[in-house]
Amino acid sequence: MKKFPMPSMPNSASPSGSHYTNLFKCCAFKFYLRHVRGWKTPKTSSPLLNGSAFHYAKAVFYATGSPNEALKALSRFLVSVWKEYETEEERSLASIRLPFMISSWIEKFGNNDLKRYTFLEIEKEHRVILFGGFSFTLRLDALVRDRESNLIILETKTSSWRPELAELEVFNGDQATAYIACVSELYKTKLSKIYLLPDICSWPKKSTKTAQINNYRGELVRRDANAIEEWKIGTSNELAEISQKVEALKEHSEYALFRRNTFYCTAWARPCEYINVCRQRIAKDSIPYGFKEDLDLPDLFPKKGKAK
**Shared domain check, 265 and 285:** yes
Alpha-helical segments (H) within the chain: 18-26, 28-31, 46-64, 67-80, 88-105, 111-116, 163-172, 174-186, 225-248, 254-257
Considering the domain architecture, whether residues 32 and 83 belong to the same structural domain is answered as yes
The interaxial angle of helices 225-248 and 174-186, nearest 10 deg, is: 110
Same domain, 264 and 279: yes
Quick check: is 278 in a domain? yes
65 contacts: CB under 8 Å, gap ≥ 6: 1, 114
> What is the C-alpha to C-alpha distance for residues 184 and 17, in angstroms, rounded to an integer?
17
**102, pLDDT greater than 70:** yes
Q: Give yes or no: residues 62 and 79 share one domain.
A: yes
**Whole-structure pTM over 0.85, yes or no?**
yes
Are 254 and 182 members of one domain?
A: no
Q: How many CA atoms lie within 13 A of 78 on its CB side?
A: 22
Yes or no: say if 140 and 123 are a contact pair by the CB < 8 Å rule: yes
Measured at the alpha carbon of residue 44, what is the angle toward residues 282 and 169, in degrees to the nearest 5? 110
Q: 305 pLDDT exceeds 70?
A: no
221/122 same-domain check: yes
Whether residue 153 is contained in a domain is answered as: yes
Residue 245: domain span: 236-291
In the chain, what are the helix, strand and coil shares in percent, each to the nearest 5?
50, 15, 35
Specify whether 184 is located in the same domain as 252: no
The CATH number of the domain holding residue 58 is 3.90.320
Pair 263, 186 in one domain: no
**Could you tell me if 230 and 263 lie in one domain?**
no
Question: Quick one: pLDDT at residue 74?
Answer: 97
Number of separate domains in the chain: 2
214 and 70 belong to one structural domain: yes
CA distance 266 to 275: 9
Confidence band (pLDDT; 50, 70, 90) for 300?
low
Query: How does residue 71 score in pLDDT terms, banded at 50, 70 and 90?
Result: very high
Angle between helix 225-248 and 18-26 (nearest 10): 60
In which band, very low, low, confident or very high, does the pLDDT at 4 lie, cut at 50, 70 and 90?
confident
* Co-location of 224 and 240 in the same domain: no
Average the pLDDT over each of 113-122, 127-136, 190-199 and give the range with the smallest value. Answer: 127-136
Q: pLDDT for 219-233, tens place per residue?
A: 999 999 999 999 999
Q: Judge whether 12 lies within some domain.
A: no
Is residue 260 domain-shared with residue 227, that is, in the same domain?
no
In a domain? residue 98: yes
Final residue belonging to a domain, choices 235, 251, 275: 235
